[in-house]
Every structure is written in C-alpha cells, then in structure tokens.
C-alpha cells in the first residue's frame, strides 16, 4: 500500500552487511536513509516465504470442518494449534508448495484450491511473507513428515476454532488470520475463486 | 495448550548458545532432545514481548471508527497499515505499556481498556508474544515519536479495515488478528471486560 506520495515515510538502503548465517536464521544489518535525511540501522531476518493452507472437509452430515495440527514450537515453549503451513523451496511455485506441504504434513490431497491473500507475520524484523490458501475436496493419504518433525493432525468445526481464538487457546498469528478468512468466507462476505489442483501432489 | 499427555510432541533444551547480539536482534541456537530421543538444533530470536492496541473512536454520528497507522517497514519494503503497537520496556506492566505506546505513537489517551487476548507472530523462530488490548474513551493529545520514527495516524471504519484485509491491502498479521477481534467484538460474539486506565498516560 506504498503510494507515490509516501516519500515522507520511505527508508532507503545505503549499506547492507550479513550479521548471521545460521542453518536457519539469516540476518542482516542495513544502514538506511530516513525520510528526514538522517541515517539509522535496521536488523532483520531474511526468510524464503511460506504458504498456509485452510483445508476444508465435510463431516458425515455435510457440515464444514477444518484440518488443523498440534505441534510443539520450541521458541514459545508450547504445543500450538495451527493451520498447516510450510516454507517455499527455492524456485517453487506457491500452489505447488501448498499442495506438497499439505500432503507431507497431513497426508491430505485437495481437488480444488483458492488463493485468499497474504500476510507478513513480523514486519519489524523479518522479510517473511505467508500466502494464504483454501483447499477443498480432500482425499486422505499418508503423512510424510521430515526427520525430526512431530505433529498431530486433527479436525475441528469453525465454531470450535473461533472459540479457541477468543479464549487464547489459539495464539499463532497465521492461524488467527486464517480464522478471520474462514469466518468471512463462510458468511459469504469474502468470496473465493476456486481452481483445480496443479497435481504436484501426485508427481513425486 | 500443552497438555499432560503431550510428551510425544515436547522438545527439551540440552544446551544453548548465543548466536548474535545485535542492537535489536538477539539470537540463540539450542540443542534440543526430540520426542523420539534424538537431538536437533533450534535457532530463534529472543524478544521482550509487545502490546497491540485497537483504539475505538466515535464519529460525529456515534458510529465506530478505529485508529490506525501507516508506517514504512524496512524488512518488507513497504508502507504498512497497522494497529498501534510497541515493545515492553524491561519490567513494565502490560497495560502501562499499552497506554504509553498509544500516547507516544498516536497522541491519544484512553479512559477505558480491555484485554482481548494474545498472539505469537512467528512461532517458528521467535519468542515474541503480543498482548491484544482494546481502548475506548479517547482524548487527543500530542504524538511523542522516538527519534527516527516516522508514521501517520488516521482513522477508518471497521468495514473499511475488513475490506482492506480481504484485498490484501492490510497484510500485517497482528493487524489481521486485530480485525478478527474487532469483527467479533462488534457482532457481540466476543465479550470484553472493560477497566479504567491505570493513568500512566499522565504520569510522565
């Protein structure tokens, strides 16, 4: 939402140096020119981008449920309830990534996909951007977790998920954003454009 | 939401070493014991915690508006529409921080406050937790921006904000979470417990 008249807000890069190259964290410190002409430093993490999936499934009566995960997240020291998500591989198309990650983490493949939007989880210190997708027409298969990845897959009704958001039992910001999308999609306020699977789910 | 029976998910710390102590980023690499007894490393940023405010204001007809900011966020390279937020000072109580940050960033003081809940913006690689508060009964004063801080304050209707979320014009995850809270608070689905200002807004 940067506009042509935003010069009084924009910061521009003067220098950049690598602060840290870990096995996961890749951090930089840049010197930037501020809108008033002075300089400041900005420290941030570079992230490859990710995709989150809101998988819709019907119960025996045709009522909507969503597929969720429970996973221990070490930095926050607790088991989190989350929508499935994963990082983009280099050069990977976003829908291909979404289909791959859904299959690997949950075992589900989806016949139809709809891109909802995107979010930036941590604009103060990371470049990370998460694309948000809905998936429907699920068929179940085998989970293919990475080595060292431990998570549980379960389903819940939208009302249960929203109640957990209200009670701070769900606190993962991407999943809270997914709940906003789910609520407005189900009420008909926010429309989706569905498209077929690109089929990567079966290509590996 | 970690439960007593979650031993098959929980990771425990074996060792910890500092990877980076920047002027802002403070990163660690820990060796952890996985649920199956094997070990892995976890890299993450330690964050002091933050608070986000959803400030409610009435227009001349008594209709609800919210106070928002436009601010350039260097890591994502764009001007973002956000609810006001700020980091906790060491030892600072959360409501005191909320009142201080609202006053400094927007100039507004609020007569009443309600804690909504909390969110973790980036559970894969940061300890950051953001407390979510509503504020109402606003009176206007002077902005007190930090040196090098440039932002615009404006107001919008809840419908405008929700439309921007739908259109990915608002992509900041904390603000998307705030939109979920706002929508459910206004519909009456999610109730708040209001309490008076603790008065820090006038103590400095």
d(CA A130, CA B158) in angstroms, rounded, equals: 24
Q: Which has more confidence, B204 or A18?
A: A18
Each of the 204 residues of chain A gets a pLDDT tens digit; together they read 677 788 899 999 999 999 999 999 999 999 999 999 999 999 999 999 999 999 999 999 999 999 999 999 999 999 999 999 999 999 999 999 999 999 999 999 999 999 999 999 999 999 999 999 999 999 998 888 888 889 999 999 999 999 999 999 999 999 999 999 999 999 999 999 999 999 854 444
Q: Which helix (H) or strand (E) holds B181?
A: helix B173-186
Residues of chain B contacting residue A80, judged by C-beta atoms under 8 Å apart: 1, 120, 123
Query: Is the minimum CB–CB distance between B152 and chain A shorter than 8 Å?
Result: yes
Confirm or reject contact between B15 and chain A (CB < 8 A). no
- pLDDT-based confidence at B200, cuts 50/70/90? low
| The pLDDT of residue A200 | 53
pLDDT computed for residue B147 by the predictor:
84
* Cβ-Cβ contacts under 8 Å, B71 against chain A: 9
Residues from chain B that touch A153, judged by Cβ atoms under 8 A, are none
Contact criterion met (CB below 8 Å) for A112 and A123: no
Q: What is the ipTM of this complex?
A: 0.95
Tokens of A14: 């003067």
Most A CBs within 10 A among B8, B18, B37, B72, hence the mutation to make, goes to B72
How far apart are alpha carbons A40 and A34 in whole angstroms? 7
For residue A172, what is the DSSP state?
A: B
CB-CB neighbors (< 8 A) of B162 in chain A: 184, 189
Closest approach of B54 to chain A, Cα-based (Å)? 15
> Across-strand partners of B118?
B131
pLDDT band for position B191 (cuts 50, 70, 90): very high
* A 33-52 residues with CB < 8 A to B: 34-36, 38, 40-45
**What CA–CA distances, in Å, run from B87 to A47, B71, B101, B129, B156?**
22, 16, 8, 10, 24
CA distance A17 to A30: 6
- CB interface of A with B, residues 90-129, below 8 Å: 117-129
DSSP classification of residue B88 = P
Nearest-CA residue of chain A relative to B151?
Answer: A9
Report CB contact under 8 Å: B70, A40: no
Three-state secondary structure call for residue A106:
helix
Beta-carbon separation of A173 and B42 below 8 A: no
CB contact under 8 A, B20 and A24: no
- How far apart CA A106 and CA A103 sit, in angstroms, is 6
With beta carbons less than 8 A apart as the criterion, state whether B71 and A123 touch: no
Q: Is B168 on the interface with A (CB under 8 A)?
A: yes
Note every long-range contact of A141-145, with CB atoms under 8 Å and residues 24 or more positions apart, other chains counting. A141/A103, A141/A107, A141/A108, A141/A109, A142/A107, A143/A104, A143/A105, A143/A106, A143/A107, A144/A103, A144/A104, A144/A107, A145/A104, A145/A105
Judging by DSSP bridges, how do beta strands A50-58 and A130-140 pair with one another?
parallel
Enumerate helices (H) and strands (E) in chain B, giving the number of each.
3, 11
- B191: which residues sit within 8 A by CB, 6+ positions away? B185
Q: What is the DSSP string of B121-166?
A: S-TTTB---EEEEEEEEEEE----PPTT--EEEEEE-HHHHHHHHH
Tell me how far apart the alpha carbons of residues B136 and B130 are, in angstroms, rounded to a whole number: 19
Report how far residue B194's alpha carbon sits from residue B185's, in angstroms, rounded to the nearest whole number. Answer: 12
Taking a C-beta distance cutoff of 8 angstroms, is the pair B182, B54 a contact?
yes
Q: Which residues of chain A neighbour B188 with C-beta distances below 8 Å?
A: none
| Alpha-carbon torsion (B92, B117, B134, B44), positive or negative | positive
Task: Give the model's pLDDT for residue B33.
Answer: 96
Is the CB of A189 less than 8 angstroms away from the CB of B38? Answer: no
Give, in degrees to the nearest 5, the angle at Cα B168 between B166 and B171: 115
pLDDT number for residue B1: 66
Question: Tell me: the pLDDT tens digits for B71-107?
Answer: 999 999 999 999 999 999 999 999 999 999 999 999 9
CB < 8 Å to A27, chain B: 20, 22, 25, 27
Mark yes or no for CB contact A11/B74 under 8 Å: yes
* pTM of the shown model: 0.95
- Closest by Cα among B33, B180, B185 to A172: B180
């Amino acid at each position: 939402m940067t506009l042509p008249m935003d010069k009084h807000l924009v910061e521009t890069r003067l220098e950049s140096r690598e602060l840290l190259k870990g096995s996961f964290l890749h951090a930089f410190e840049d010197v930037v020119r501020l809108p008033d002409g002075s300089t400041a430093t900005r420290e941030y993490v570079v992230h490859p981008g990710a995709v989150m999936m809101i998988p819709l499934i019907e119960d025996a009566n045709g009522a909507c449920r969503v597929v969720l995960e429970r996973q221990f997240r070490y930095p926050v020291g607790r088991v989190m309830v989350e929508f499935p998500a994963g990082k983009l591989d280099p050069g990977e198309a976003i829908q291909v990534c979404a289909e791959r990650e859904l299959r690997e983490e949950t075992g589900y493949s989806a016949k139809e996909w709809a891109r909802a939007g995107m979010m930036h989880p941590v604009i103060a210190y990371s470049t990370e951007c998460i694309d948000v997708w809905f998936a429907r027409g699920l068929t179940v298969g085998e989970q293919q977790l990475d080595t060292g990845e431990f998570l549980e897959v379960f389903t819940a009704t939208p009302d249960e998920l929203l109640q957990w958001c209200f009670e701070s039992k769900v606190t993962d910001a991407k999943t809270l954003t997914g709940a906003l999308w789910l609520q407005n999609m189900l009420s008909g306020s926010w429309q989706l454009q569905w498209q077929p699977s690109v089929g990567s789910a079966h290509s590996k």
